[in-house]
């Protein structure tokens, strides 16, 4: 995969040729010991991405670059940790999108403002979102429309799992049901693994998750991808139609992971960090490693990433509000 840029993630949902990135020079970001703060336990998806990226850009951090896990409060502890850190380039947040784009709408009292307390540096990875069916769903159900009609015929089976309430996966499912006039009941789990296990085990009919999390089960024939939520077919599940193809033109969602610095971080440090990340996401080494997890690299400038963040925050607001969902404090 060549150098890529991702613009207006929620609304566009497609990768386009990159433009506007400054010359990618190579200079140490900081001589201090540095860290990526991750709001999830070791071994999870965001943690894995953080360690891949750290391995790739460690030469830019002569003082060392580690991953520090700060799980808890649905990743809000990690955000608060970076918010309170010195703005010197040594403490960075590696986070999935929903902690900054969905939470402002789902938590009544959020301890941070993503647009005021953090500086968008650069995205690093994109994960497509998929609707996956387990053994409770008959083989005759082959696509999103079939699935929604199957649910409509018996509302008792109209439920889906996700890695957590208040996530973009949760609201992608609600958008889908609303688009076809079907009320889908959400079942939230504490992470992607337990949700997938219940789908495979026949406890729930379907799950909405990152494609990479489901690939092993799909290859083993234990799950089927009925549809994906990008504007274009996902390269890791090319046989599955998109929701747009299925007639739901506004049902678009993909999950990105990006890097943020504390507010008031000097522009020169933000630029150097962005350039280090851009080099990583433009190279084959990280691309190949991400592909093993069903993810693709993203490359864009800090200003473009900020525009994407603003667009996604604005886009998820009406979706969350229409659902009536409020996250537990």
Domains and CATH numbers, the chain: 4-127+256-323 (3.40.190.150), 128-228 (3.40.190.10)
Residue 144 DSSP symbol: H
Q: Structure pTM? A: 0.86
Instruction: Characterise 311 by phi-psi region: left (phi > 0), alpha (psi -120 to 50), beta (else).
Output: alpha
pLDDT in the model for residue 26 = 62
Q: What is the dihedral of CA 282, 237, 292, 221, to 10 degrees?
A: 180
pLDDT in the model for residue 63 = 96
| DSSP E strands, the chain | 4-6, 15-17, 34-38, 65-69, 91-96, 118-133, 159-162, 185-188, 206-210, 224-228, 254-262, 295-297
Q: How far is CA 178 from the centre of its chain?
A: 22
pLDDT in the model for residue 7 = 34
Contact 265, 248 (CB under 8 A): no
pLDDT in the model for residue 281 = 97
* Residue in the structure block whose two tokens are 């929903």: 98
| DSSP E strands, 181-237 | 185-188, 206-210, 224-228
pLDDT in the model for residue 117 = 98
**Residues shown for the chain:** 329
**What letters, b where the CB count within 10 A reaches 16 and e where it falls short, cover 178-200?**
bbbebebebbbbeebeebbebbb
Q: What is the dihedral of CA 326, 74, 214, 226, to 10 degrees?
A: 10
Q: Using 70 as the pLDDT threshold, list the residues of the chain that sit under it.
A: 1-26, 328-329
pLDDT in the model for residue 12 = 35
Q: How far is CA 152 from the centre of its chain?
A: 29
pLDDT in the model for residue 191 = 81
pLDDT in the model for residue 164 = 83
Give 45-100 pLDDT, tens digit per residue: 899 999 999 999 999 999 999 999 999 888 999 999 999 999 999 999 999 999 99
pLDDT in the model for residue 11 = 36
pLDDT in the model for residue 192 = 83
**What letters, b where the CB count within 10 A reaches 16 and e where it falls short, cover 154-172?**
eeeebbbbbbbbbbbbbbb
Dihedral sign, CA of 174, 252, 312, 278? Answer: positive
């Amino acid at each position: 995969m060549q150098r890529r840029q991702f613009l207006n993630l929620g609304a566009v949902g497609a990768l386009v040729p990159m433009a506007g990135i400054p010359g990618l020079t190579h200079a140490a970001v900081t001589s201090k010991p540095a860290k990526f703060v991750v709001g999830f336990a070791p071994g999870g998806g965001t943690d894995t991405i953080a360690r891949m990226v750290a391995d790739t850009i460690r030469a830019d951090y002569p003082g060392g670059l580690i991953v520090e896990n700060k799980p808890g409060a649905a990743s809000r502890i990690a955000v608060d940790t970076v918010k309170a850190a010195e703005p010197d380039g040594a403490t960075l947040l590696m986070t999935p999108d929903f902690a900054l784009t969905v939470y402002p709408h789902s938590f009544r009292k959020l301890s941070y403002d993503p647009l005021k307390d953090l500086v968008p540096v650069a995205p690093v990875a994109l994960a497509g979102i998929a609707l996956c069916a387990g053994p409770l769903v008959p083989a005759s159900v082959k696509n999103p429309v079939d699935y929604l009609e199957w649910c409509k015929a018996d509302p008792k089976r109209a439920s889906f799992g996700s890695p957590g309430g208040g996530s973009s996966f949760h609201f992608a499912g609600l958008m889908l049901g609303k688009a076809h006039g079907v009320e889908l009941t959400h079942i939230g789990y504490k992470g992607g693994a337990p949700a997938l296990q219940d789908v495979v085990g026949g406890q729930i009919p379907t799950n909405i998750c990152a494609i990479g999390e489901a690939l092993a089960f799909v290859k083993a024939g234990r799950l089927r991808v009925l549809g994906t939520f990008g504007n274009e077919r996902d390269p890791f599940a090319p046989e599955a139609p998109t929701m747009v193809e299925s007639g739901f033109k506004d049902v678009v969602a993909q999950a990105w992971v990006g890097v943020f610095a504390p507010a008031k971080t000097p522009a020169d440090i933000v630029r150097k960090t962005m350039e280090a990340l851009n080099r990583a996401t433009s190279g084959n080494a990280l691309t190949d490693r991400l592909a093993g997890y069903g993810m693709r690299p993203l490359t864009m400038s800090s200003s473009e990433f900020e525009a994407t963040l603003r667009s996604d925050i604005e886009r998820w607001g009406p979706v969350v509000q229409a659902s009536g969902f409020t996250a537990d404090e």
